[in-house]
Amino acid sequence: MKVGAIILAAGSGTRLNLGEPSEKPKVLYEICDRPMVSYTLDLLKALDFNEIVMVIGYKADLVREAFSRQVKFAVQEERKGTAHAAKVGEEQIVNDITHLLIIQGDDSAFYSKETIESFIRKASDFKIGFTTVKLNNPGAFGRVIRNKDGNVVAIVEKETATDEEKQINEVNAATYFVEREWFNKNYAKLKPSKVGKGELILPDLVTVAFNSGEKVLGFEVGVEEWVGVNTPEELELANKLMKERLNGNG
């Protein structure tokens, strides 16, 4: 097994800038005086991946400048969803890579090396696996649906979730591990999502897997390792938590 990593880093940061066009991409907003994606890059380097590709889009030149010579880049010219972004990244990865870790550049600063190693080790027995986290207030995140045996059968976005499904507190933490050949074959089956702007999204690959009889790994991580950064308040919280961690208190 040879693993390549794809960092999704094309976001615009509009919500972090209070709804106004941002002067910089989302992943360049800082946590403890460092671009948030730099923590992810350090993590992947520590894991000694065979190849790392960062998918960029909004104000791509600023990300290139910040991380020149540290990583290979792929440009998502049009924002067509997370699955499309992953495919753009996959196309830049050398042919002998057999598996892909697809990780978000805006919520992965707190993952530990040991957690991602464990995730990959377990996910390597599946065609696709993804991280989950249990939140007290799951809010806008996609809910993880499991059957009576505890196996994942779908990720339901909040826009289509039933009242009962909205009570589920296990949500998609959106780091994926896929067998590359399976990803490419099933990417072609994806249709525009029923939510959002009709993009091609990674959670729909879970439904594709279930519909084709494949088992899917939902790998739960601790709430202390997953910190979504979508608002100024969440960025402030991420700074507080990272400061505590760096001071040995987190």
Q: What digits encode the pLDDT tens for the residues 94-104?
A: 999 999 999 99
Question: Phi, psi (5° rounding) for residue 198?
Answer: 70, 40
pLDDT at 176 over 70: yes
Using alpha carbons only, give the angle 54, 57, 61 rounded to the nearest 5 degrees.
85
Each residue of 136-170: pLDDT tens digit? 989 889 999 999 999 998 899 888 899 999 999 99
Per the CB < 8 A criterion, the answer to whether 90 and 184 are in contact is: yes
Each residue of 102-115: pLDDT tens digit? 999 999 999 999 99
Average pLDDT (118-141) is: 95
- Centre a 10 Å sphere on the Cβ of residue 199 and count the other Cβ atoms it contains: 18
pLDDT at 90 over 80: yes
User: Token pair for residue 216?
Assistant: 């899917």
Question: pLDDT grade, residue 197 (50/70/90)?
Answer: confident
Question: pLDDT grade, residue 12 (50/70/90)?
Answer: very high
The class that CATH gives domain 3-245 is alpha beta
Q: pTM of the full predicted structure?
A: 0.95
Report the pLDDT value the prediction gives residue 46, as an integer from 0 to 100.
96
Report the pLDDT value the prediction gives residue 220, as an integer from 0 to 100.
97
User: Token pair for residue 51?
Assistant: 């190849």
Residue ranges of domains in the chain: 3-245
Whole-number mean pLDDT of the chain?
94
Report the pLDDT value the prediction gives residue 250, as an integer from 0 to 100.
59
Report the pLDDT value the prediction gives residue 50, as an integer from 0 to 100.
80
Each residue of 25-70: pLDDT tens digit? 999 999 999 999 999 999 999 998 989 999 999 999 999 999 998 9
